[in-house]
Amino acid sequence: MEETLQKFGQVSTGSLGHLTDFGYAIGLQALTRPAKAVGRAFTVRIPRLDATIVHYALNLIEPGEVLVLDTSGERERACWGGVVGHAALRAGVAGVVVDGPVTDWEELTASGPPVWCRGLSSITGRRLGLEGAVLVPVQVGGAVVQPGDIVLADSDGVFFVSPDGAAELADALIVREAREPGLKRRLDAGEKMGDISGARQAVDDAMAEQRAQAGTTG
Residues 154-195: tens digit of each pLDDT: 999 999 999 999 999 999 999 999 988 898 998 899 989 889
| Residue 209 pLDDT grade (very low, low, confident, very high; cuts 50, 70, 90) | confident
Which pTM was predicted?
A: 0.88
Is domain 2-164 annotated with CATH 3.50.30.40? yes
Residue 217 has what pLDDT? 61
Nearest to 104 by CA among 78, 130, 125, 126: 78
Contact 51, 73 (CB under 8 A): no
Q: What is the pLDDT of residues 61-73, one digit of tens each?
A: 999 999 999 999 9
